[in-house]
Amino acid sequence: RINADRLQETIHHTCQWGAAHRYGSGPAETGMSRLSLSDDDAQARRWFAEETQKLGCNLVVDQLGNMFASKRGSAPNPTPMIAMGSHLDTQPRGGRYDGILGVVAAVEVLRTLAENGYKTHNDVGAVNWTNEEGARFPKSMMASGVWAGKIPLEQAYSLPDIFDPSVTVKSELQRLGYIGDVACSSVGYPLGAHFELHIEQGPILEETGRKIGVVQGGQAYRWFTVTVNGRDAHTGTTPLKSRSDPLLAASKMIASSNSIAKNLGALASTGVFKIPPSSSTNTIASEVTFTLDIRHPDDAVVDEVQRLCFESFQAIAKEDGRGVQVNWTLDTDSPATKFDSDCIKMVEKAATDLVGPDGWLHITSGAGHDSVNTSSQCPTTMIFVPCKDGVSHHPEEYCSPEDCALGAQALLESVVNYDKL
């Protein structure tokens, strides 16, 4: 049995590093801002290293700072571990559960197994994946993507901080001493399976009154950075027809991407919109950069939204005054994913044992997760627990202590079931 109180204490203990955006007076009533490879992230990493080593785990850090803590099983030789993984980095205005719950629960499962003297056959362990959020370095699930062979290591190393291009993933790994020797790949550090406990980040479990989501896979998504170039000009003396106004064009593009996605039942969202720091009320900006995030469960629909958006952007670029230039780069590409049926069966069994057959639900993830990457290299699935009002990427993100503990218990039992299998 998971110790629900200790699980809560541990979650909030680790949230001392990066606590931000207070919304209430209670000690845990803040959100988080623990950007990947920040000083706060390094503190949380040190905690992970110490706790797992106390439990007798062997800790390996790979070239991208991924942290693998494995505990030997009873099999005569070491086996690729059955991993429980997630991430300790957060959004800049994130909450206390997204990613954090998965890693802390993994440690709690290891503690519970140790306390009960339960010996698995295979090695089991916990993983902390680097830069899952893609918030600071805009490629989500970055290090699990490199591990899975989807992203070249050098590309990840050279990713710049989205607001400070003088800093890269590599320079921050170096600064914090988190570049390990082991190759970041499923050959360098193979896994036997990957189970990830996570808050749902959406409203479905809560709305249907279920406690556990047995995750079938993840929807497809693609991220772009769109750059629109124009020309500085005086807002009072430059006729509309003589302008080359990137801020106006970008605004129209964002409105257009939203209506294209709406028509196709997809999602298109812009979270970041940047103008040069030398901007003023009475000057037309010279350049605008914005992000575009397109999602749908079906890869073909993501393709279609993308095609229609960039067709529309090119038309908008010619629409006003002297026109603007528009260019884009693909930052993240995560196709639709189906998880492993054996892993799913183990979670179904654990869920039925814990909450009965009507207490859980099959669900598809709207968000990307490291499990989407690991699933191409090892049997993988995820366990979702409800979060209040489906709110995530927000300081007030919340999962009740009971639901956290239930999720951790399901994680423990799924891993034990899988180990027996």
Give the one residue of 348, 393, 408, 409 binding its own copies; rule: CB under 8 A: 393
Q: Which is nearer to ligand URP, 30 or 392 (CB)?
A: 392
Tokens of 312: 């529309």
Choose one: 45-53, 62-70, 152-160, 257-265; the region binding its own copies (CB under 8 A): 257-265
Q: If binding is defined by CB under 8 A, does position 364 make contact with its own copies?
A: no
For residues 199 to 238, the per-residue mask of contacts with its own copies, x marking binding by CB under 8 A and - elsewhere, is -xxxx---------------x-x-x-------xxxxxxxx
Judged by DSSP in three states, 347 sits in: helix
Choose one: 79-87, 113-121, 123-131, 195-203; the region binding its own copies (CB under 8 A): 195-203
Q: Which is nearer to its own copies, 85 or 246 (CB)?
A: 246
Cβ atoms of 194 and 374 closer than 8 Å:
yes
Give the one residue of 77, 116, 166, 278 binding its own copies; rule: CB under 8 A: 278
Q: Which is nearer to its own copies, 48 or 290 (CB)?
A: 290
1 to 60, contacts with ligand URP by CB under 6 A?
A: none
Sequence-distant (≥ 6) Cβ neighbours of residue 29 within 8 angstroms = 22, 23
- The partner in contact with residue 369, picked from its own copies, ligand URP, none with C-beta cut-offs of 5 to 8 angstroms by kind, is ligand URP
- The partner in contact with residue 200, picked from ligand URP, its own copies, none with C-beta cut-offs of 5 to 8 angstroms by kind, is its own copies
Query: In the bound complex, what is the minimum distance in angstroms from residue 37's beta carbon to its own copies?
Result: 15
Tracing tokens 């239930």 back to the chain, one arrives at 406
Give the one residue of 51, 62, 133, 419 binding ligand URP; rule: CB under 6 A: 133
Choose one: 7-15, 54-62, 176-184, 247-255; the region binding its own copies (CB under 8 A): 247-255
Cβ atoms of 335 and 217 closer than 8 Å:
no
Pairing of strands 124-128, 337-338: unpaired
CA 356 – CA 240 distance, rounded (Å):
65
Backbone angles phi, psi at 127, to 5 degrees: -125, 140
Choose one: 6-14, 209-217, 254-262, 340-348; the region binding its own copies (CB under 8 A): 254-262
DSSP label at 268? E
Q: If binding is defined by CB under 8 A, does position 307 make contact with its own copies?
A: no
Phi-psi region of 392 (alpha: psi -120 to 50; beta: other; left: phi over 0): beta
CA 211 – CA 145 distance, rounded (Å):
30
Cβ atoms of 198 and 384 closer than 8 Å:
yes
Q: Which is nearer to its own copies, 8 or 286 (CB)?
A: 286
Q: If binding is defined by CB under 6 A, does position 368 make contact with ligand URP?
A: yes
How would you write 99-135 as a 3-class SS string?
CHHHHHHHHHHHHHHHHCCCCCCCCEEEEECCCCCCC
DSSP label at 385? E
Choose one: 346-354, 367-375, 383-391, 405-413; the region binding ligand URP (CB under 6 A): 367-375
Query: In the bound complex, what is the minimum distance in angstroms from residue 201's beta carbon to ligand URP?
Result: 6
For residues 344 to 363, the per-residue mask of contacts with ligand URP, x marking binding by CB under 6 A and - elsewhere, is --------------------
Q: If binding is defined by CB under 8 A, does position 171 make contact with its own copies?
A: no
Phi-psi region of 321 (alpha: psi -120 to 50; beta: other; left: phi over 0): left
CA 389 – CA 287 distance, rounded (Å):
38
- Please, which residues bridge with residue 332 across strands? 223
- The partner in contact with residue 298, picked from its own copies, ligand URP, none with C-beta cut-offs of 5 to 8 angstroms by kind, is none
# chain residues binding ligand URP, by CB under 6 A:
12
- The partner in contact with residue 394, picked from its own copies, ligand URP, none with C-beta cut-offs of 5 to 8 angstroms by kind, is its own copies
Q: If binding is defined by CB under 6 A, does position 76 make contact with ligand URP?
A: no
Other beta carbons less than 10 A from residue 241's beta carbon? 8
Tokens of 264: 């196709």
185 to 224, contacts with ligand URP by CB under 6 A?
A: 201
Sequence-distant (≥ 6) Cβ neighbours of residue 17 within 8 angstroms = 34, 40, 41, 43, 44, 47
Q: If binding is defined by CB under 6 A, does position 282 make contact with ligand URP?
A: yes
Other beta carbons less than 10 A from residue 322's beta carbon? 13
- Please, which residues bridge with residue 302 across strands? none
How would you write 343-365 as a 3-class SS string?
HHHHHHHHHHHHHCCCCEEEEEE
Give the one residue of 40, 41, 161, 245 binding its own copies; rule: CB under 8 A: 245
228 to 257, contacts with ligand URP by CB under 6 A?
A: 234, 236
Give contact residues for ligand URP (rule: CB under 6 A). Answer: 98, 132-134, 140, 201, 234, 236, 282, 367-369
